[in-house]
Structure 1
Amino acid sequence: MIWVREGFWAMSGLVLLVLGTFVGVYVVSPPWQWPSLGVWLWPVVSSWQVGAMLLTACLGGRGAATVAVIAYLTLGLMGWPVFTWAGGWQYLREPGLGYLLGLGLGAWVCGELAFRLPLSLEHLTLAAGLGLLGVHLVGLAGLAVHYPRWSEWLSWAAHYTLTPLVGQLLALCGVVLLAYVARRLGVAARW
């Protein structure tokens, strides 16, 4: 039964990762402005890719989330157009490869903590935050391999880490709330 449940979350996570790569994060106008101005959406420079990984980890655990990330990376490197700029072996030379590989570490860390710590908004936020940190640490290390000169590394680090960070933090907040409610309702895996 555990394999079926974990397989469900791994497949769900793979679908969420693929879709999340192409769906942007938006901020909604405040509800008190809706009657006069309507509902407005402002795009934030980020996608739901990291949010999808965090949601899978918070609901399915470390195994399902890590398997989903490995399947996602495998599909992308085999040429399926699941990465932001298509897919294929050329991604091994991309400066953002470290961030894609960091999804694996983030999935493992977030999924482990999400089910090891008692269920609370604070603990899920900690788990997701450390998962996001794992993505960026591996990504920054990958940039150091591509750009050993400090000035180049710093420029690319700002592009790959600082630019999407606000959107990823907003996605993290949404993921934590959704995962908390789902787990309280008994929707998530139990290990």
Structure 2
Amino acid sequence: MIKLYKVLLFFISLLLVFFGTFLKVRLPFPVWSRYGLSWSSIDFGITSQQCLIYFISLSCGGETVFISQIVYFFLGIIGLPIFFYGGGIYYLKYPTLGYIIGSLISTWFIGKSSLFFYIKPFTFIKVSLINYFFIHLLGILYLMLFSPTWTEWIALILRYSIIPLPSQLFSICLFSIIAFIVQEFFIFLKKPQKIKTSL
């Protein structure tokens, strides 16, 4: 039963990361007009991949999710177009590779942390934010390899780290809270339920 659970978790996390690469984060909100109630959405301008990685790692643990991320990485490197800018061995020379490597490392750490620190939602957010900044630190350092001048390096940092920062921070905090709720629900299901009997 446990092995089946891990296999299902592996494929679910792999599919979530794959579709999250091309699925943008949108926040729906109601709009009232003279024609009645309708719905619109705010486009955050970022994909939901990293948010989904955090969600599945925090709520379900990191080991199986970490393995799925490694498989995802190698599938992209061998040529499957599953990365945001395609796929193939040439991706090793792409500026965003540092962010992908950082994401692989943080997936394992987040999952391990969630097994010990599941008491408060703020802890979930804190763990996610620490790993988020670790990913960007590694990504920024990797960008130096593609920046012959300081000006180009700063331009790449603005493009990949600074500009999407507000949207990513909001999305990560939101998904961390949802992950906390999901994990609390799983814990509730595992608890033995007391059956009341009347005399």
What SS does the aligned partner of 2:99 have? helix
Distance 1:111 1:125 in 2: 13
| Higher relative contact order structure (alpha carbons within 8 Å, sequence separation ≥ 6) | 1
Query: Given that residues 106 and 131 in structure 1 are in contact (C-alpha distance below 8 angstroms), is that contact kept between their aligned partners in structure 2?
Result: yes
- Counterpart position of 2:32: 35
SS state at 2:84 partner: coil
Shift of 1:159: 0.4
| 8 Å Cα contact 1:20/1:47 also seen in 2 | yes
Partner of 2:46: 46
Q: Name the counterpart of 1:167.
A: 167
Q: How do residues 4-83 of structure 1 correspond to structure 2 at under 5 angstroms?
A: 4-29=4-29, 31=30, 34-36=31-33, 38-83=38-83
Higher strand residue share: 2
Query: Which residue is equivalent to 1:108?
Result: 108
Larger radius of gyration: 2
Aligned identity (percent) is 25
Distance 1:95 1:49 in 2: 18
> Where does 1:112-191 land on structure 2 (aligned, <5 Å)?
112-186=112-186
Structure 1 SS opposite 2:101: helix
Structure 1 135/149 Cα, relative in aligned 2: closer, same or farther at 3 Å?
A: same
Cross-structure match for 2:196: none
Q: Aligned-pair distance for 1:165?
A: 2.0
Code of the aligned partner of 1:8? L
Question: Shift of the alpha carbon at 1:50?
Answer: 0.6
C-alpha contact (below 8 Å) 2:46/2:167 kept by paired residues:
yes
Q: What is aligned with 1:99?
A: 99
TM-score w.r.t. the length of structure 1 is: 0.87
Task: Please state how far the C-alpha of 1:17 moved relative to its aligned partner.
Answer: 0.5
1:184 Cα deviation from its structure 2 partner: 1.1
Q: Deviations over 1:23-72 (max 9, x none)?
A: 0012333x4xx222732212112101111211121022221221121111
SS in 2 for 1:22: coil
Q: How many residues get paired?
A: 186
Query: Which stretches in structure 2 are left out of the alignment for 5+ residues?
Result: 191-199
The one-letter code matched in structure 1 to 2:137 is L
Kindly state the Cα deviation for residue 100 of structure 1 after the two structures are TM-superposed: 1.1
